[in-house]
A and B are shown apart, each in its own frame.
Chain A
């Protein structure tokens, strides 16, 4: 513009004064500069500031705050895990991590050296090797490795040793103080998980990793709630990294993890694990086993054991002795490379961590018949009056299926079929039910879906699809399914379905969590007891319970080895073939599915042993002389286990009239025999005995030979000790319960023969009269007849 004016000026000639021309040029050029520097130049600046302060504000502020603040995490305490009685299953305690700051340590050493050189007071020993040696001695960490870490001269955080317990950390603290290591070596608090019961319920509780994160079991499933929310302390720091305490500080309190109360009962878990272990030893079981104890009314798991197991305090160690040895050799063997070893170690660890109750499937075998019979009764295709005939086998679609009893059970009713675990009868029941209904019930009993138990890695059944099962070619599958073979389900699926069978038909969601509490003990969350559906009616359920009680209670029941007088145990044995891939066809899983008391089941258990070792391949007997079957292995272990559990739970005992009176037996003469002989004689006649004294031979017995006393009574055998000859005084029994009566009489070396009107004698049944009056002196070993009556409570209107 200025130039234009210039041109114009020139064209108009030189009349105009130079000065004026000149001035105009200055004027317009100044205007131009004014526009350029007074306005235009600032446009990009303002734009840029807008970009930084408004558009990128959040981002830049965040990044600035990042460097301006020191954000310290305040760890939240991990919640404690309790059993259902408040016993601590898992807890956290403070431990220390040993941290090396090579930068600070080297500075400290340098400073010390300077002082030494200057002749000032200093530590003459202080150098890297000295510190490394000292720390190595206390912690056991290799000194060479510590020196290596010291080489990272720029680092200020090298973890030398994790989770040191108090005594070790105190030694380290003393070492740091003694050598004035300052910030070069320091302790950092951390927390460590302790499991007071070690291996107890290891598969349910699970364990945590190095950073206290849950890896397995409840620790994993409830990790979030157990961990809580870490708190933070945010402080300002300046560019040199120094904290500025005068500047803002911000605290966010840590929220401690919730305490978790499980449905698991440590005592019952102990019983279950003991029964599992004893059976494994007794029957030379090759592949471990599992045991679940469930409260059928809620689906709560009282105990869940899986063998092999491991110590939760050292979950990464291999606890199987053979496996541990093999791995040790492998590690020492230079021919085996690191990866192979690690792979094998991993496999061994996974194997012991595996919770077979939920992670694995198996063929349930005859235990499944309890579900089949429930379905059949519910559908009305069979009744207690149904008749079956078993000639030892049954032909289904060109395939002959044998009964366990090769000679056949002959004519039998439904109860007999259940009691005998008769395969042909059950094939018939299955066929009466029909494939469609059968499949419906499998579905309804939850065998085709996950139970949704709150444990990790749950598996579910491997079952034919419906189309196949209902088709012509599925007909033999229906037959085998009727006695629990050729399909696979998890133990938790089976016991959940079985609980529904006996609890009145209610299929519950199994669970291990009962409720959670906050640090003050207030209940925060309660695991909702959830019924998925009612599968069968209350009546059908009761009927099946009766049938199952007979399996155990009847003289010829396949489960009779589980019988315990006074506990009304019902159940079903199972001897499943292992027909899966990678499984040996001659191997069996022997199991017992039991419940008690049969009139109102309080617990359901499933106890199984995987592959008891036959004495020779193909044999049906173990080297110890036990026939390999659920009835001979599962039942005898399950019976006492149920007894223990019911006793512990304080469930009333109930005696049948028959149990109370017993069939009388005549006592043998045992005087003069060695103990072993006496013991086998007692066993043959159905007596038990108690040893008094520790001589070799029996020197006296109560009662004397030829006395008639109730069968199963306890004989007193004096071995070397003097047999008392003074008479016994009959105690006053009035108002005592059957159990108390028996005990009172036993204390006086007397025997009880009970009778009365009730069908079952419980603590509500009381002694009404005794055949020998109280106070009478009688010979020891005398039988006292006691009559019990039920204590009837009459309701009266209040006076």
Chain B
């Protein structure tokens, strides 16, 4: 129980004013710092060749990082309990934003995809907000869940019996979540934004899983997803081609396989200890997106296997600490919020490193805290702020 230090504060205020989890904060700051420095090295080449100003991307990323840390701090000061009330609005806002990308004048079309919304001065991906929106909404709704109190319908009618059955197997409870997830994923897929859809599904599913939805549904959902993917992979030319370049990037080394090959060259030439910070060769116009999605390749080239392990270890610690905080959260809402955000981060890290090492088929996904990119870092840090906010209300271990 937090000490009563300010008489004029309510109990809730006192709880919200507790100390943030220091290890988690440190990990976030460490990763952000390494990320910003890596952007400097990785973006050096393209910034130099594009604008003649090698520190251009670095400066902008540094400003965003500082801004992001401030946002994180501010968010952490907000009592997350208020977010419950905010959940429904956040969800609706997310859906609206996802629709807005398709509106000419607001949405930005880039390489045939509408993923951005432009506002005066900056642009951002609504999918970033939608991820948080879904998690927030799911967490809030599932926190209020009372699984033992099942609704009952008249068993004498056929409809009633069907409804009773569906309620018993948990389908009726799941239905609204499924509708929301499928709607979101659908909106993202028509942007198109495959990786965004995957992350929303992953984040949402994690909250649902932790929230207590019957495990069988995840088996069914996973199975449906897997068979759907299998169908797409084997029955569409587009995906078949992507898969063949995934298995052997050298089969189309000059085009489809180029980026993967360049990434593998970067990672491979790093060796055990790397070429040394700033000494990457692959960043000089060889590896496209070297300071965005493929920034980890440059890190591997410069810092070697050891450096890669260090960053992975930091991520692992961050994720483990995240789940640890979830386990110790004051209430189910807080726990589910953290589980959602942490899982989101973990999946993103896994997918990004999986893509740059060609472990999984390529999809455009950024690396949290590292990838250069406008608002993503700020939102990312904002999410961390939510976790920190939850951490404030964890009971301190009793002394003695």
Residues of A within 8 A of B (CB): 2-3, 14, 18, 21-23, 25-27, 29-31, 33-34, 37-39, 41-42, 44-46, 48-50, 52-54, 56-57, 59-61, 63-65, 67-68, 236, 238-240, 244, 247
Instruction: Tell me whether A236 and B209 are in contact in the complex, defined as CB-CB below 8 angstroms, given that A38-B320, A54-B305, A60-B265 are known contacts.
Output: no
- List chain A residues, Cβ under 8 A from B342: 33, 37
Q: In the bound complex, do residue B285 and residue A238 qualify as a contact, i.e. CB atoms below 8 Å apart?
A: yes
Using a CB-CB cutoff of 8 Å, which residues 270-320 of chain B contact chain A? 270-272, 281-282, 284-287, 300, 304-305, 308-309, 312, 315-316, 319-320
Q: In the bound complex, do residue A38 and residue B323 qualify as a contact, i.e. CB atoms below 8 Å apart?
A: yes
Q: In the bound complex, do residue B148 and residue A14 qualify as a contact, i.e. CB atoms below 8 Å apart?
A: yes
Q: Which residue of A lies closest to B339 (CB)?
A: A30
Q: In the bound complex, do residue A63 and residue B265 qualify as a contact, i.e. CB atoms below 8 Å apart?
A: yes
Q: Which residue of B lies closest to A238 (CB)?
A: B284
In the complex, how many angstroms separate the beta carbon of B373 from the nearest chain A beta carbon? 21
In the complex, how many angstroms separate the beta carbon of B394 from the nearest chain A beta carbon? 14
Q: In the bound complex, do residue B267 and residue A26 qualify as a contact, i.e. CB atoms below 8 Å apart?
A: no
Subset of 28 A-B contacts with CB under 8 Å: A18-B147, A21-B148, A22-B332, A26-B212, A29-B212, A31-B323, A33-B209, A33-B210, A33-B323, A33-B339, A34-B323, A37-B342, A38-B320, A42-B312, A42-B315, A49-B300, A53-B268, A53-B305, A57-B268, A60-B264, A60-B265, A61-B271, A64-B266, A64-B281, A68-B281, A68-B282, A238-B286, A247-B281
Query: A30 touches which one: B147, B210, B284, B346 (CB < 8 A)?
Result: B210
Instruction: Tell me whether A34 and B268 are in contact in the complex, defined as CB-CB below 8 angstroms, given that A26-B332, A238-B285 are known contacts.
Output: no
Q: In the bound complex, do residue B268 and residue A33 qualify as a contact, i.e. CB atoms below 8 Å apart?
A: no
Q: In the bound complex, do residue A44 and residue B327 qualify as a contact, i.e. CB atoms below 8 Å apart?
A: no
Q: Which residue of B lies closest to A10 (CB)?
A: B148
- List chain B residues, Cβ under 8 A from A59: 268
Q: In the bound complex, do residue B285 and residue A240 qualify as a contact, i.e. CB atoms below 8 Å apart?
A: yes
Q: Which residue of A lies closest to B335 (CB)?
A: A26
- List chain B residues, Cβ under 8 A from A31: 323, 327
B59: CB under 8 A from chain A?
no
Q: Which residue of A lies closest to B211 (CB)?
A: A26
Query: B269 touches which one: A30, A45, A61 (CB < 8 A)?
Result: A61
- List chain A residues, Cβ under 8 A from B322: 38
In the complex, how many angstroms separate the beta carbon of B278 from the nearest chain A beta carbon? 12
In the complex, how many angstroms separate the beta carbon of B295 from the nearest chain A beta carbon? 15
In the complex, how many angstroms separate the beta carbon of B243 from the nearest chain A beta carbon? 18
A50 to B146, CA, bound (A): 47
Q: In the bound complex, do residue B350 and residue A37 qualify as a contact, i.e. CB atoms below 8 Å apart?
A: yes
Q: In the bound complex, do residue B286 and residue A239 qualify as a contact, i.e. CB atoms below 8 Å apart?
A: yes
- List chain B residues, Cβ under 8 A from A64: 265-266, 268-269, 281-282
A774 to B45, CA, bound (A): 101
Q: Which residue of B lies closest to A63 (CB)?
A: B265
Instruction: Tell me whether A26 and B265 are in contact in the complex, defined as CB-CB below 8 angstroms, given that A37-B346, A45-B359, A53-B272 are known contacts.
Output: no
B336: CB under 8 A from chain A?
yes
Q: In the bound complex, do residue B270 and residue A45 qualify as a contact, i.e. CB atoms below 8 Å apart?
A: no
In the complex, how many angstroms separate the beta carbon of B50 from the nearest chain A beta carbon? 11
A57 to B270, CA, bound (A): 7
Q: In the bound complex, do residue A29 and residue B210 qualify as a contact, i.e. CB atoms below 8 Å apart?
A: yes
- List chain B residues, Cβ under 8 A from A65: 269
Q: Which residue of A lies closest to B308 (CB)?
A: A49
Instruction: Tell me whether A42 and B332 are in contact in the complex, defined as CB-CB below 8 angstroms, given that A37-B342, A53-B272 are known contacts.
Output: no
- List chain B residues, Cβ under 8 A from A57: 268-272
Query: B354 touches which one: A30, A34, A45, A247 (CB < 8 A)?
Result: A45
B353: CB under 8 A from chain A?
yes
- List chain A residues, Cβ under 8 A from B146: 18
Residues of B within 8 A of A (CB): 45, 49, 145-148, 206, 209-212, 215, 264-272, 281-282, 284-287, 300, 304-305, 308-309, 312, 315-316, 319-320, 322-324, 326-327, 332, 335-336, 339, 342-343, 346-347, 350, 353-354, 357, 359
A33 to B211, CA, bound (A): 12
A268 to B112, CA, bound (A): 83
- List chain B residues, Cβ under 8 A from A236: 281
- List chain B residues, Cβ under 8 A from A68: 281-282, 284, 286
A26 to B58, CA, bound (A): 41
Please indicate which of the listed interface residues B281, B286, B326 has the most CB atoms of chain A within 10 Å of its own CB: B281
A54 to B284, CA, bound (A): 23
In the complex, how many angstroms separate the beta carbon of A198 from the nearest chain B beta carbon? 51
Q: In the bound complex, do residue B316 and residue A30 qualify as a contact, i.e. CB atoms below 8 Å apart?
A: no
In the complex, how many angstroms separate the beta carbon of A246 from the nearest chain B beta carbon? 11
- List chain A residues, Cβ under 8 A from B267: 49, 52-53, 60
Q: In the bound complex, do residue A53 and residue B308 qualify as a contact, i.e. CB atoms below 8 Å apart?
A: yes
A247 to B44, CA, bound (A): 14
A48 to B353, CA, bound (A): 10
Q: In the bound complex, do residue A33 and residue B343 qualify as a contact, i.e. CB atoms below 8 Å apart?
A: yes
A239 to B283, CA, bound (A): 9
A37 to B357, CA, bound (A): 18
Q: In the bound complex, do residue B268 and residue A52 qualify as a contact, i.e. CB atoms below 8 Å apart?
A: yes
Instruction: Tell me whether A67 and B316 are in contact in the complex, defined as CB-CB below 8 angstroms, given that A53-B271, A60-B267, A61-B271 are known contacts.
Output: no
- List chain B residues, Cβ under 8 A from A46: 309, 312
Q: Which residue of B lies closest to A45 (CB)?
A: B353
Q: In the bound complex, do residue A41 and residue B305 qualify as a contact, i.e. CB atoms below 8 Å apart?
A: no
Q: Which residue of B lies closest to A2 (CB)?
A: B215
- List chain A residues, Cβ under 8 A from B266: 64
Q: In the bound complex, do residue B319 and residue A25 qualify as a contact, i.e. CB atoms below 8 Å apart?
A: no
In the complex, how many angstroms separate the beta carbon of B289 from the nearest chain A beta carbon? 13
Knowing that A26-B211, A49-B305 touch, tell me 9 more A-B residue pairs with CB under 8 angstroms.
Answer: A30-B210, A42-B350, A46-B309, A49-B267, A52-B264, A53-B272, A57-B270, A238-B45, A240-B49
In the complex, how many angstroms separate the beta carbon of A263 from the nearest chain B beta carbon? 53
Q: In the bound complex, do residue B350 and residue A26 qualify as a contact, i.e. CB atoms below 8 Å apart?
A: no
A48 to B304, CA, bound (A): 13
Q: Which residue of B lies closest to A240 (CB)?
A: B285
- List chain B residues, Cβ under 8 A from A45: 312, 350, 353-354, 357, 359
- List chain B residues, Cβ under 8 A from A240: 49, 285
Instruction: Tell me whether A38 and B316 are in contact in the complex, defined as CB-CB below 8 angstroms, given that A25-B212, A239-B284, A239-B285 are known contacts.
Output: yes
A58 to B209, CA, bound (A): 44
Q: Which residue of B lies closest to A44 (CB)?
A: B359
- List chain A residues, Cβ under 8 A from B323: 30-31, 33-34, 37-38
- List chain A residues, Cβ under 8 A from B300: 49, 52-53
A52 to B146, CA, bound (A): 49
- List chain B residues, Cβ under 8 A from A247: 281
- List chain A residues, Cβ under 8 A from B324: 34
- List chain B residues, Cβ under 8 A from A63: 265, 268
Q: In the bound complex, do residue B347 and residue A61 qualify as a contact, i.e. CB atoms below 8 Å apart?
A: no
A247 to B48, CA, bound (A): 14
- List chain B residues, Cβ under 8 A from A44: 354, 359
Q: Which residue of B lies closest to A244 (CB)?
A: B284
Q: In the bound complex, do residue B284 and residue A18 qualify as a contact, i.e. CB atoms below 8 Å apart?
A: no
Instruction: Tell me whether A61 and B268 are in contact in the complex, defined as CB-CB below 8 angstroms, given that A37-B319, A42-B316 are known contacts.
Output: yes
Query: B305 touches which one: A3, A21, A50 (CB < 8 A)?
Result: A50
Instruction: Tell me whether A37 and B272 are in contact in the complex, defined as CB-CB below 8 angstroms, given that A3-B215, A23-B332, A238-B49 are known contacts.
Output: no
- List chain A residues, Cβ under 8 A from B359: 44-45, 48
Q: In the bound complex, do residue A60 and residue B353 qualify as a contact, i.e. CB atoms below 8 Å apart?
A: no
A736 to B281, CA, bound (A): 85
A172 to B288, CA, bound (A): 41
Q: Which residue of B lies closest to A65 (CB)?
A: B269
Q: In the bound complex, do residue A30 and residue B327 qualify as a contact, i.e. CB atoms below 8 Å apart?
A: yes
A2 to B211, CA, bound (A): 12
- List chain B residues, Cβ under 8 A from A34: 319-320, 323-324, 327
Q: Which residue of A lies closest to B304 (CB)?
A: A53
Query: B347 touches which one: A2, A37, A56, A60 (CB < 8 A)?
Result: A37
Please indicate which of the listed interface residues B268, B284, B332, B336 has the most CB atoms of chain A within 10 Å of its own CB: B268
Query: A67 touches which one: B210, B211, B265, B336 (CB < 8 A)?
Result: B265
In the complex, how many angstroms separate the beta carbon of A100 from the nearest chain B beta carbon? 24
- List chain A residues, Cβ under 8 A from B211: 26
In the complex, how many angstroms separate the beta carbon of B156 from the nearest chain A beta carbon? 27
Instruction: Tell me whether A30 and B326 are in contact in the complex, defined as CB-CB below 8 angstroms, given that A38-B316, A42-B350, A53-B270 are known contacts.
Output: yes
A557 to B188, CA, bound (A): 113
